[in-house]
Each structure stands twice: as structure tokens, then as C-alpha cells.
Chain A
Amino acid sequence: MLEAANLTCERGGKILFQKLSLRVSKEDLLRIAGDNGSGKTSLLRILCGLAWPAHGEVRWKGEPIRRLGEEYSRSLVHIGHASGLKDELTAAENLAVTCTLAGIRASDPAIRDALGRFTIAPERQVRHLSQGQRRRAALARLALSGDVPLWLLDEPFAALDAAASALVEELVRAHAGRGGAVVYTTHQAAALRDTRVIEL
């Protein structure tokens, strides 16, 4: 499904990685590992089209993602470092807007159910949530993104308690089981064992 060929990434005149190639197929779980500053987040941003590599190309189903534009965006979920939540809105309002932007049709009960699985009160304003709760509210999107084939997750287990980590792991495994693909970064080596690892 997803191919990256000879990727080189530069930040501030420093080469983070070069000649990196990878292939992600259906049912794949790929973990990107590496020290802080090794370029894990940059690689994910390149894979989703938010950043461009100095050299190399990313292809989705054989087509360069530059050419695909929104068609590629509709095929992926990217959850980055920032929560992507508005402090002034409730968790449910945030999730509803996020789903609409991504082109995902989610009913109000489905949104409440997704937040409920992550034990987030739907009517609670995000400004009143802790860091871990914000992360859970952002990750609740995964529960509604079963039909989106590619998930790109940057540190999905960061700031989560054991129960939430287990739920994310369950969602990720279920997604791969349905034929989806997941590329993620994490420092927690214990999380999601039996996955392919790329060390930067």
C-alpha cells in the first residue's frame, strides 16, 4: 500500500536520515524507533505529506502522494504530537469537527461511544482535561476510523495510563486484523510486540 524510496530528511542543515526505504502492506504494524531527534516525527510527517523529503518519494498504491492530494489524505489518519483539540470546545464537539474534516461520517451516539471507550466525558471542555485525558480524547478518533486504511501515529502511548494504552493497542491490532496498516513511533519497547521495527 505505502512505499517510501530513498528518503533523505534534512533539518537545519543536519541530515536526520538518508536513503531510507520502507514498504507497508495490508495488516502491517510498523514501529519506527530511534533516539530523541533521530527523525521519527519527521519521517511520519513525510509519510503523511505534511513535510517533503530532501530526496526520495512516497507512493500510495503506486502513485506519488504529491499527485494524489486529498485522495491520499482520505486514506489516512495522522495523530501527531499536538492533540489537535480546541480548548474552548467540548471533547464531543472536537471529535465531531475532526471527523467531518477527515470525511468520516460519525453519528452523535458513535462519537459519544468512542469517547466513552476512552473514559472521556463528551460534554467536558477540553481546557479542563489533563494532558493524558487530552491524549485520550485525540486518540478516540481511532475508534471511528476503522474504514481508513492507513494509520500514522506519533507516540500514541505517550501520557497514557495502562488501561488507555491497552485500549490503543487493542484498536491498533484490530485495525491491522481488518486489513489496515499502522505505522507508529514509540519509546515504549514493550508496546505492540511482534511488529516490524525500523531503527533510525
Chain B
Amino acid sequence: MLATARAIVYRDLLVAVRRRSDVAVALLFFVIVTSLFPLGIGAEPNLLRAIAPGVIWVSALLSSLLSLRRLFEADHDDGTLEQMLLGASPLGVVAAAKALAHWMVTGMPLAVIAPLIALQYDLAPQLFGVLALSLLLGTPVLSLIGAIGAALTLGLRGGGVLLSLLVLPLYVPVLIIGAGARRRASSCCSPRCWWWRRRSRLGQSPRH
């Protein structure tokens, strides 16, 4: 099973490396959308700092969605999906490997460049790590949820629109948690502080 997963991830990464345009489109989309907001709203640092996590997360979400349609479609068109269906490993392994490869190609680069994007929004440098980490943890979930939608809409006419309608509502919890990470981190960066605040909310006596 591991050999199958490794082969699928290796193959998809190799295809992405040799067809860079697909990766570049998602990444450029992310950069352009996140850069449009400061241009449109104006140089108001407090406002930009407040909207930064939401804008970056929504852009990451839409960028991930942009490449989702191709997750199974290319394999369906050239017949390699049939080979996977008739493979020696369970379909769950195949789907997980496909989602992992999708995240490595689309989600991980977003997490890497997010701190650079955050510079435009005047975010405090100590929050760059939180932002990157939240994207690093959240984008795999986007790929996993998206894989379900991509599989359900495979081969349908107008499947792209349907895919968005199916998947976007499911992305909402990830968006709320991901975008909220910066707010929680900026109110108190220390995990110890977060822990005591949580305890006090649960009615236990805080010793902070």
C-alpha cells in the first residue's frame, strides 16, 4: 500500500514539475488576489492588519479550489484513473495519496509565501509563523475535503461550478479556525497563556 501511495505522489509531483503552469496559476492567483486588497482599501495599517488573516485565508481557499477540478479529471481523461481503480491497493490509499500530492503542489507553496504576503498587510513579524503554520495545518484539510467534491463531480458537465457549490460550505469551519488563529495568537502569543485562559473559561481558578 505504501508503495502505491509513494508511486502516486511521486508521479503527481513529477507531472507538476514538468507542467509548471498549473502550479504557477494557483500561486499567482493567490498573490494577485491578496495584493488587490491593500490597493483597493488603501494604506490604513490598522484596517489592513485586521483583515489580513481573513483575506489571506479566503485567497488560499479559492486558490486551492482553482486547481481542484484537475485533481482527478486529468487522470480520468488519459485512463490512468482506471488503472488506479484496478490497482492492488484500496481506493482510500489512492484518494489519500492524490490529496497529499495536491496539497504538496498547491497548499504547501501558499503556506511558504504567506509571510511575504503578510508584509503588505503590516502584520507583526512574530505572527508570520502563526499564519504560515495555520495554513500548513489547514490547507491539507482543504485538499482532503476538495478531493471528495472533485470525485463527486468528475465527468459532469458544468462540474466546476457544482464543485464550488459543494465544497465551499464545507470549507467554512477551516476558514473560521484558520483565520481566527492569528487573532488568538495576537491577543496572547504564549501557549501557556492560552492554556490558562482556556482553564479560566471552563470555570477553574486561573493562577495567571
Instruction: Enumerate chain A interface residues (CB-CB to B < 8 A).
Output: 48-50, 69-70, 73-74, 76, 78, 80-89, 93, 96-98, 100-103
Q: Does B3 contact A (CB under 8 A)?
A: yes
Q: Which chain B residue lies CB-closest to A101?
A: B87
Look across to chain B and name the residue whose beta carbon is closest to the beta carbon of A83: B79
Residues of A close to B88: CB separation below 8 A:
70, 73-74, 101-103
CB-contact partner of A78 in B8, B86, B89, under 8 A: B86
Q: Which residue of B lies closest to A127 (CB)?
A: B18
Interface residues of B (CB under 8 A from A): 3-4, 6-8, 10-11, 14-15, 18-19, 77-80, 82-90
Task: Given contact pairs A88-B19, A103-B89, enumerate 11 new A-B contacts (beta carbons under 8 Å).
Answer: A48-B86, A49-B86, A50-B82, A70-B87, A70-B90, A82-B78, A82-B82, A83-B79, A88-B18, A89-B15, A102-B86
For residue B3, which residues in chain A have a CB less than 8 angstroms away from its CB? 100
Given contacts A88-B18, A88-B19, contact A73 B78 (CB under 8 A): no
Contacts of A81 in B (CB 8 A): 79
* A101:B4 contact, CB within 8 angstroms: yes
Q: Report how far A48 CA is from B14 CA in the complex, Å.
A: 29
How far, in angstroms, from A41 to B18 measured CA to CA in the complex?
33
In the bound assembly, the distance between CA atoms of A48 and B83 in angstroms comes to 11
B7 touches A97 (CB 8 A): yes
Q: Chain B nearest CB: distance from A181 CB in Å?
A: 16
Residues of B close to A82: CB separation below 8 A: 77-79, 82
Q: Is the CB of A50 within 8 A of B19?
A: no
| Partner of B15 from A70, A86, A102 at Cβ < 8 Å | A86
The 3 closest A-B pairs by CB, nearest first: A82-B79, A103-B88, A84-B79
Most chain A C-beta atoms within 10 Å of own C-beta, residue among B15, B18, B84, B88: B88
Taking a contact as CB atoms under 8 Å apart, the answer to whether A101 and B83 are in contact is yes
Contact status B79-A98, CB under 8 Å: no
CB of A158, distance to nearest CB on chain B (Å): 14
Contacting residues, chain A, for B4 (C-beta < 8 A): 100-101, 103
Total cross-chain contacts (CB, 8 A): 75
Chain B residues lying within 8 Å of A74, measured Cβ to Cβ, are 88
Docked-complex contact A89 and B87, CB < 8 angstroms: no
Q: Which residues of B contact A87 (CB under 8 A)?
A: 78
> Are B11 and A89 in contact, with the CB atoms below 8 A?
yes
Pick from A78, A86, A96: contact of B80, CB below 8 A.
A86
Whether B82 contacts A101 by the Cβ 8 Å rule is no
**Min CB–CB distance B95 → chain A (angstroms):** 13
What's the Cα separation between A177 and B15 when bound, in Å?
39
Do the beta carbons of A73 and B80 come within 8 Å of each other?
no
A169–B14 Cα distance when bound, in Å, is: 34
Give the residue among B15, B78, B84 with the most A Cβ atoms within 10 A: B78
A96 to B19: give the CA distance in the assembly, Å.
20
Output the nearest chain B residue to A84 by Cβ-Cβ distance. Answer: B79
- For A97, the chain B residues whose CB sits under 8 A away are 7-8, 10-11
Distance (whole angstroms) from the CB of A134 to the closest CB of chain B: 10
Residue of B at shortest CB range from A103? Answer: B88
A101 lies within 8 A of B15 (CB): no
CB distance from A28 to the nearest CB of B (A): 20
CB distance from A198 to the nearest CB of B (A): 22
Tell me how far the C-beta of B92 lies from the nearest C-beta in chain A, rounded to whole angstroms: 11
A89 and B14 within 8 A (CB): yes
Q: Which chain A residues lie closer than 8 Å to B15 at the CB level?
A: 86, 88-89
Q: Nearest A residue to B85 by beta-carbon distance?
A: A50
Residues A85 and B87 in contact in the complex (CB < 8 Å), given A93-B14, A97-B11: no
Which of B6, B78, B86, B89 is the one whose CB lies under 8 Å from A86?
A: B78
